[in-house]
Amino acid sequence: MTSELIGLTAQDLIEGYRKGEFSPVDATRAVLARIEETEPALNAFVRVDAEGALARAEASARRWREGEPMGLVDGVPVSVKDILLQKGAPTLRGSKTVSEQGSWDEDSPSVARLREHGAVFVGKTTTPEFGWKGVTDSPLSGATRNPHDTSRTAGGSSGGSAAAVAVGAGPLSLGTDGGGSVRIPASFCGIFGLKPTYGRVPLYPASAFGTLSHVGPLARTASDAALMMDVISGPDPRDWSASGPPSGGFRDALHGGVRGLRVAYSPALGGQVAVRPDVAAVVRAAVTRLAELGAYVEEVDPPVQVERSTDPVEAFHTLWFSGAARVVQPLPASRRQLLDPGLREICTRGARYSALDYLAAVDARMALGRRMGAFHSTYDLLVTPTVPITAFEAGVEVPRGSGLRRWTGWTPFTYPFNLTQQPAASVPVGLDGDGLPVGLQIVAARHRDDLVLRTAHAFYEAEVASHTSPNTA
């Protein structure tokens, strides 16, 4: 029963609870057993609350027996990235500079909504320090490893969440994405990850990285992610920048297929990106299938960079490095020595930017947003590889021998759409020659999360996308 339960989606679990085939206690015990099997080899969790999880599961089981579940995910095991506040659990953000002492008596909005819907919180997942980079390792918790090959990275910064979902340690996890941090690990671990339109999921406390940072679900399927979105997209007055209530349910938007959608397929951003050949081949095959399903697919590049002066990476670095500097600003020099050396480096650079530098980056961001807005007046969707490579060695920021300096050098398909605040998802569409997952990215205009989820769901229904069980014991 244990192996069967950890392979079920959240919706499968809910259906099983409804029919009385098994209980939330059964599912939670199976997930806790799976965590015990895979930790510390994966290092996906910084904290596991077995006692609390079982208590919540038992309360949920009583509600199901009485025919009164309290919400959409009542009894579903869920993990939370250790960037987001969770009542009763220290949120250390991957840093030795954050003390465990404190009341920890508040939930972030998305965590609060999950609690209101009866979710069973099993633990907090690993993150790089303050979520600053596209892989998951930190001085506090070490490196998180890929379930498909534990010598390799799970990606980041929501790497712990992605690894947990991939290995069966709960069907749902909450992540954050400031430059690809949900989509990168989803691609590397072979699961589904969604970065919703900015503001669609309220965030509190506000991120030091400002409006680059989105909260989103990691799951095995697009339909499970839609279920989670129906829970976490509820309004919260603590986020002044959040969107109003959604106009409809995300699960309701899944159906209808892709027939007639206008899709721009950009295999390499106009040749600017060196995409590994087996990654390119897997993504192209999935795009071919998209056309067979009835979408109008045209190979065309988005106006991400129209000339060198409009390269978004420098604007992103200005905003990102300034945010990092703001995170550590309160720390005395003696405490800064505890930080990840790479984080210290970008903080030093970020502290040197002037207000005019920052505003120039905002201008570049707005210009990119205008260009992408015009682009989506012609194309409903943009499809690209999520990442031009597959998972590389764990414990390093960039692949060895790549000549790259920062994680943004190997994530050119992800961070532009944090600048523009557009919804974007990574869908697992196959494996490379080493058996490592390859992700395809779907991007839509702001507030068209429904199109992203609908297209991703069509990939799953056509069996183009699927969760590949990793080899991890």
- Domain layout of the chain by residue ranges: 2-461
On the question of pLDDT at 473 being above 70, the answer is no
Residue 306 phi/psi, 5-degree rounding, is: -95, -20
Task: Check if the beta carbon of residue 231 is closer than 8 Å to that of residue 11.
Answer: no
On the question of pLDDT at 314 being above 80, the answer is yes
On the question of pLDDT at 136 being above 80, the answer is yes
Total length of the chain:
473
Q: How far is CA 181 from CA 34, 172, 284, in A?
A: 24, 16, 24
Can you give the pLDDT at residue 307?
A: 61
Q: pLDDT, tens digit, for every residue of 419-438?
A: 999 999 999 999 999 999 99
Q: pLDDT, tens digit, for every residue of 80-91?
A: 999 999 999 999
What's the average model confidence in pLDDT over 438-456?
98
Q: Give the integer Cα–Cα distance in Å for 60 and 55.
A: 9
Q: How far is CA 414 from CA 38, 230, 386, 440, in A?
A: 29, 24, 7, 11
In this prediction, residue 468 has a pLDDT band, given cuts at 50, 70 and 90, of confident
pTM over 0.95: yes
Alpha-helical segments (H) within 158-242: 159-167, 183-189, 222-232
Q: Please give the helix or strand (H or E) that residue 279 lies within, else none.
A: helix 277-292
Can you give the pLDDT at residue 3?
A: 78
On the question of pLDDT at 449 being above 90, the answer is yes
What's the average model confidence in pLDDT over 255-275?
96
Q: Kindly list the strands in the beta sheet with 262-265, ordered across the sheet, starting from the edge strand earlier in the chain.
A: 45-48, 120-125, 77-81, 172-177, 214-219, 192-195, 424-431, 437-444, 381-385, 262-265, 296-299
List, in order, residues 6 or more apart from 396 with CB less than 8 Å away.
135, 153
The strand pairing partners of 431, in sequence order, are 437
Can you give the pLDDT at residue 311?
A: 78
Domain 2-461 has CATH 3.90.1300.10: yes
- Would you list the DSSP string of 233-262? TS--TT-TT-----SS-TTGGG-S-STT-E
On the question of pLDDT at 114 being above 60, the answer is yes
On the question of pLDDT at 309 being above 60, the answer is no
Q: Enter the DSSP assignment of 252.
A: G
On the question of pLDDT at 405 being above 80, the answer is yes
On the question of pLDDT at 195 being above 90, the answer is yes
On the question of pLDDT at 310 being above 90, the answer is no
Q: pLDDT, tens digit, for every residue of 339-380?
A: 999 999 999 999 999 999 999 999 999 999 999 999 999 999
What's the average model confidence in pLDDT over 161-178?
98
- Would you list the DSSP string of 301-317? --TT-SSGGG-HHHHHH
Q: In this structure, what token pair is assigned to residue 444?
A: 């839509």
State the catalytic residues.
81, 157, 181
The strand pairing partners of 80, in sequence order, are 124, 174
Q: Give the integer Cα–Cα distance in Å for 440 and 414.
A: 11
In this prediction, residue 472 has a pLDDT band, given cuts at 50, 70 and 90, of low
Q: Which amino acid type is present at position 216?
A: G
In this prediction, residue 1 has a pLDDT band, given cuts at 50, 70 and 90, of low
What's the average model confidence in pLDDT over 194-199?
98
A 10 A CB-CB count for 7 gives 15
A 10 A CB-CB count for 232 gives 27
In this prediction, residue 470 has a pLDDT band, given cuts at 50, 70 and 90, of confident
On the question of pLDDT at 65 being above 70, the answer is yes
Task: Check if the beta carbon of residue 43 is closer than 8 Å to that of residue 35.
Answer: no
On the question of pLDDT at 293 being above 70, the answer is yes
What's the average model confidence in pLDDT over 294-310?
85
Q: Enter the DSSP assignment of 131.
A: G
Q: Give the integer Cα–Cα distance in Å for 143 and 135.
A: 9
Can you give the pLDDT at residue 245?
A: 87
Task: Check if the beta carbon of residue 282 is closer than 8 Å to that of residue 429.
Answer: yes
What's the average model confidence in pLDDT over 460-473?
83
DSSP, collapsed to helix, strand or coil, labels residue 261 as coil
What's the average model confidence in pLDDT over 403-425?
98
| Residue 362 C-alpha from the chain's centroid | 24
Can you give the pLDDT at residue 246?
A: 87
Among 309, 311, 323, which Cα is nearest to 273's? 311
Q: In this structure, what token pair is assigned to residue 160?
A: 């712990």
Mean pLDDT computed over every residue of the chain: 96
Can you give the pLDDT at residue 466?
A: 87
Q: Please give the helix or strand (H or E) that residue 326 lies within, else none.
A: helix 312-328
What's the average model confidence in pLDDT over 243-266?
95
Q: How far is CA 123 from CA 173, 193, 268, 368, in A?
A: 10, 19, 38, 38
Among 470, 472, 467, which Cα is nearest to 439's? 467
